[in-house]
């Protein structure tokens, strides 16, 4: 394909992305500004007759999410995956439907939420889809201070924005989709809360048992393991303080703690620390074979959030993963990515790509990072617009991922987000070595 | 000296004596109690009005206990449904269902956009946050000059006008330390909510920082309710909506 044809094709694809968004979202915007929502409110009416609570509650959303990806042609991962096919970019379309329902009968609450995701990539004309429950549980709460729960529930522990060292019973969030719902684990749990007036304002205990058996909680721990987790929370002297404990039937243990406090109304500080026994990491050794080692490790996060007088919010965090991969281990990985192109075994690239996806595609695979985010609502009197910029920098190899996004929340049913994410660094670095160099996303989430 | 002058002087002295005979802090406490019962639930609608008249509306269910514990959950719009807010004195948290854990927020931010900030939505007693620096009389109204007890509140100073008869606010100016006006709250439409609660049902806010914009807060179904301290904890934030009857 000649460069001019290539450019034209790219232009057509970008235009089709935009047209698709306009076709979907503009009618929604128009529908959202019907007279009922735009009527002037001189009489200040507030009809509460429709606000009576029924036993059944339902909410749902549909999200359309076209993405344009520009590849990093210097990346060994790219060369291994695409070789001489040499694509410059790809457009990807995601559709996500989420729904949640609750039914309450006296002290019993049944709750379920989940999502359906569909994915299409034009480059290889591939489609995929999946459906999953985020949560699905039955809760018994005889009073406000005590509850028992059985089912699938998400535990979101920790105070960090980018990373949670103490997330012993949960999954790590996606930095580029930080508010996305996460799938929980099947468990039996109990919660006890007490509120006080005094220096100790609140105390809470959460204890849970999580079994791993076959497809139940698969991936959380090794098969046929039972894990117990505990969280103790205190609001003491206006400071959130948590203690966390984990133990399982394989004698592995984890302990952790976190805190968060407002030094001033505009300045918050937070921190997390966790000590984890027998963290197993798998990596390519110097001879390009897979090796694995287990060791005890400490992980921590130290962070702050500051609201400047200009109304800009800054978040700064330092993250440390004691069991992250070292520079030497990453060098062996880059050598491995380079080696199969010289190999005569046609299966070698596929096997390396599979292992690369499995062991090297996490968000924080090395040891030390800094996360910075700045957001500013309503700039230049553009009410409901919130631009934000963020970056995560790998302090060991100097590579980084940076993003810029704008959200628009004017409409009652629709949240619009435009985001551009770029990866930078040498081709033998964590973020510079990724096969994607830039990504542009347009997202529209219709809630009802 | 003319008779009119003597009459005017007498009136001023009588009114002044009335102001000076009052304990300003006790008077402010009465205003706090007239505005809200000690422990209650309520519904509230927030309307952000743009210069062209377009609006965005939010509906909250809120509960409050004592002079410094407030919790609320958004019932609409759908994009904000089930978001919950909690305030314990100077501490404030926001719970977003997808995020699944409470995050500390500040009183100066706004969960809804528009002129109202979090402190306006999650307001606690004036007496809990401010000392009365001066109390004076103006055209049949008390005028309180309030100064923040700590630096952790949203506004360093408030100038509060209250009707002498009803002991309810009619207007509040929110000021910086240097007395620069940040916003003005107008209390309107006094309504009998039952149970002895008679208070303004509408608060309208405008701000020189948001020229042409205004925000309106409408109160409904204020009802006294016994509430446990446990409700005002971050562990309970995801369950505040379950308190609705």
For residues A333 and A284, the answer to whether their CB atoms sit within 8 Å is: yes
A55 CB-near residues (< 8 Å, 6+ apart): A103, A104, A105
- Report the distance separating Cα A445 and Cα B188, nearest Å: 37
Which among B133, B163, B135, B130 has a CA at the least distance from the CA of B149? B130
Q: pLDDT at position A339, please?
A: 74
B26 at the A interface (CB within 8 A)? no
B163 CB-near residues (< 8 Å, 6+ apart): B140, B141, B142, B170
**Backbone phi, psi, residue A341, to 5°:** -70, -25
Cis? peptide before A363, omega within 30° of 0: no
In DSSP terms, B16 is beta-bridged to: none
For residues B163 and B146, the answer to whether their CB atoms sit within 8 Å is: no
* Contact criterion met (CB < 8 Å) for A44 and B228: no
Q: pLDDT at position B38, please?
A: 86
Q: Write out chain A residues lying below 8 Å of B45, CB-based.
A: 46
For residues A127 and A108, the answer to whether their CB atoms sit within 8 Å is: no
Q: pTM for the full model? A: 0.86
Of the candidates B88, B106, B233, the beta carbon closest to that of A307 is on B106
| The pairing of beta strand B84-88 with beta strand B69-76 | antiparallel
* Contact criterion met (CB < 8 Å) for A383 and B213: yes
pLDDT-derived band of residue B195, with 50, 70 and 90 as boundaries?
Answer: confident
A399 CB-near residues (< 8 Å, 6+ apart): A393, A423, A424, A425, A426, A429, A430, A431, A432, A433
| B121-148 pLDDT tens trace | 998 889 989 999 999 988 889 999 999 9
Residue, of B32 and B16, whose pLDDT is higher: B32
Please list the alpha-helical segments (H only) found in A259-319.
none
ipTM: 0.84
Which of A61-70, A336-345, B56-65, B74-83 is the least confident region? A336-345
Q: pLDDT at position B21, please?
A: 66
- The 10 Å Cβ neighbour count of residue B3 is 7
Q: pLDDT at position A237, please?
A: 93
Residue B159: CA count within 13 A, CB half-sphere? 13
Task: Please give the average per-residue pLDDT across B175-199, as a whole number.
Answer: 92
For residues A315 and A161, the answer to whether their CB atoms sit within 8 Å is: yes
pLDDT-derived band of residue B95, with 50, 70 and 90 as boundaries?
Answer: very high
Give the burial string for A202-219 (b: 16+ CB within 10 Å, else e): bbbebbbebbbeeeebee
B95 at the A interface (CB within 8 A)? no
What are the angstrom distances between the C-alpha of B146 and each of B121, B128, B151?
Answer: 19, 11, 13
Residue of A nearest to B203 (CA): A44
The answer to whether residue B236 scores a pLDDT higher than 90 is yes
Residue B230: CA count within 13 A, CB half-sphere? 15
Residue B200 corresponds to which tokens in the numbers above? Answer: 């303004």
* Contact criterion met (CB < 8 Å) for A41 and B100: no
Residue B51 corresponds to which tokens in the numbers above? Answer: 């210069």
Q: Which helix (H) or strand (E) holds A78?
A: helix A76-82
Domains for chain B: give ranges and CATH numbers. Answer: 23-243 (2.50.20.10)
B76 at the A interface (CB within 8 A)? yes
| A4-46 pLDDT tens trace | 445 545 554 555 554 455 444 444 444 443 333 333 345 667 8
| Length of chain B (residues) | 245
Residue of B nearest to A158 (CA): B101
Residue B211 corresponds to which tokens in the numbers above? Answer: 């020229």
Task: Please give the average per-residue pLDDT across B231-237, as a whole number.
Answer: 94
For residues A348 and A191, the answer to whether their CB atoms sit within 8 Å is: no
Task: Please give the average per-residue pLDDT across B76-101, as a whole number.
Answer: 91
Residue A304: CA count within 13 A, CB half-sphere? 8
Chain B closest-CA separation from residue A179 CA (Å): 5
Q: pLDDT at position A342, please?
A: 54
Q: pLDDT at position A19, please?
A: 47
Q: pLDDT at position B18, please?
A: 55
B177 at the A interface (CB within 8 A)? no
The 3-class SS string of A156-177 reads CCCCCCCCCCCCCCCCCCECCE
Residue of A nearest to B231 (CA): A144
Q: pLDDT at position A340, please?
A: 63
A447 at the B interface (CB within 8 A)? yes
Residue A43 corresponds to which tokens in the numbers above? Answer: 């009489």
Q: pLDDT at position B3, please?
A: 59
Chain A closest-CA separation from residue B12 CA (Å): 38
Chain A closest-CA separation from residue B169 CA (Å): 19
* Contact criterion met (CB < 8 Å) for B234 and A201: no
Interface test with B, best of A44, A152, A164 (most B CBs within 10 A): A44
Which among A202, A224, A228, A206 has a CA at the least distance from the CA of A215? A224
Q: pLDDT at position A16, please?
A: 52
Of the candidates A41, A145, A158, the beta carbon closest to that of B230 is on A145
Of the candidates A144, A305, A412, the beta carbon closest to that of B78 is on A412
Which regions of chain A are under pLDDT 70? 1-44, 84-85, 340-346
For residues A122 and A68, the answer to whether their CB atoms sit within 8 Å is: no
For residues A95 and A125, the answer to whether their CB atoms sit within 8 Å is: no
B226 at the A interface (CB within 8 A)? no
Which among A223, A202, A204 has a CA at the least distance from the CA of A212? A223
């Amino acid at each position: 394909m000649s460069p001019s044809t290539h450019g034209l094709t790219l232009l057509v694809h970008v235009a089709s992305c935009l047209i698709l968004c306009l076709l979907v979202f503009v009618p929604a915007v128009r529908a959202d500004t019907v007279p009922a929502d735009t009527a002037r409110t001189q009489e200040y009416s507030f009809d509460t007759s429709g606000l009576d609570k029924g036993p059944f509650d339902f909410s749902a959303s549909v999200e359309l999410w076209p993405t344009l990806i520009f590849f990093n042609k210097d990346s060994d991962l790219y060369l291994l995956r695409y070789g001489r096919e040499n694509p410059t970019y790809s457009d990807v379309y995601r559709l996500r439907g989420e729904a949640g329902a609750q039914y309450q009968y006296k002290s019993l609450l049944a709750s379920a939420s989940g999502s359906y995701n569909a994915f299409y990539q034009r480059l290889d004309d591939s489609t995929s889809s999946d459906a999953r429950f985020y949560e699905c549980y039955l809760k018994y709460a005889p009073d406000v201070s005590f509850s028992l729960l059985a089912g699938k529930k998400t535990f979101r522990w920790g105070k960090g924005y980018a990373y949670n060292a103490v997330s012993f019973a949960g999954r790590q969030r996606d930095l580029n989709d930080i508010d996305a719902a996460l799938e929980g684990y099947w468990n039996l749990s109990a919660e006890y809360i007490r509120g006080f007036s005094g220096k100790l304002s609140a105390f809470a205990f959460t204890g849970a048992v999580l079994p791993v058996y076959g497809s139940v909680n698969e991936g959380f721990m090794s098969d046929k393991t039972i894990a117990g987790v505990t969280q103790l929370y205190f609001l003491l002297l206006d400071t959130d303080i948590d203690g966390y404990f984990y133990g399982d039937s394989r004698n592995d243990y984890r302990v952790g703690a976190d805190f968060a406090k407002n030094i001033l109304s505009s300045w918050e500080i937070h921190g997390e620390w966790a000590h984890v026994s027998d963290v197993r990491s798998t990596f390519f050794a110097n001879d390009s074979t897979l090796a694995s080692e287990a060791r005890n490790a400490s992980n921590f996060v130290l962070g702050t959030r500051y609201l400047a007088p200009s109304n800009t919010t800054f978040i700064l965090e330092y993250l440390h993963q004691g069991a992250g991969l070292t520079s030497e281990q990453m060098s062996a990985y880059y050598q491995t990515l380079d080696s199969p192109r010289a190999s005569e075994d046609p299966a070698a690239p596929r096997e390396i790509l599979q292992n690369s996806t499995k062991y090297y595609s996490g968000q924080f695979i090395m040891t030390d990072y800094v996360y910075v985010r700045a957001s500013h609502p309503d700039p230049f009197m553009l009410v409901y617009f919130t631009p934000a910029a963020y970056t995560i920098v790998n302090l060991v190899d100097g590579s980084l991922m940076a993003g810029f996004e704008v959200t628009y929340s004017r409409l009652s049913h629709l949240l619009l987000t435009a985001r551009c994410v770029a990866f930078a660094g040498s081709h033998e670095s964590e973020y510079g070595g990724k096969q994607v160099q830039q990504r542009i996303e347009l997202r529209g989430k219709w809630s009802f | 000296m003319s008779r009119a002058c003597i009459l005017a002087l007498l009136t001023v002295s009588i009114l002044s004596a009335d102001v000076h005979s009052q304990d300003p802090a006790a008077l402010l406490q009465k205003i706090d109690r007239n505005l809200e019962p000690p422990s209650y639930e309520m519904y509230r609608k927030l309307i952000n009005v743009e210069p062209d008249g377009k609006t965005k509306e939010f509906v909250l269910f809120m509960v409050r206990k004592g002079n410094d514990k407030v919790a609320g959950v958004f019932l609409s719009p759908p994009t904000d449904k089930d978001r919950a807010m909690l305030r314990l004195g100077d501490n404030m948290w926001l719970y977003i269902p997808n995020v699944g854990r409470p995050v500390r927020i500040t009183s100066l931010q706004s969960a809804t956009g528009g002129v109202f900030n979090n402190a306006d939505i999650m307001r606690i007693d004036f007496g809990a946050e401010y000392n009365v620096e001066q109390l004076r009389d103006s055209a049949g109204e008390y005028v309180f000059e309030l100064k923040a007890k700590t630096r952790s509140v949203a506004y360093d100073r408030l100038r509060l006008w209250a009707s002498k008869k009803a002991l309810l606010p009619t207007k509040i100016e929110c000021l910086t330390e240097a007395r620069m006006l940040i916003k003005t709250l107008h209390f309107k439409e006094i309504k009998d909510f039952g149970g002895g609660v008679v208070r303004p049902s509408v608060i309208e806010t405008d701000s020189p920082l948001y020229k042409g914009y205004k925000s309106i807060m409408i109160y409904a179904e204020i009802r006294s309710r016994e509430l446990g301290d446990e409700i005002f904890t971050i562990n309970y934030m995801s369950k505040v909506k379950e308190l609705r009857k």
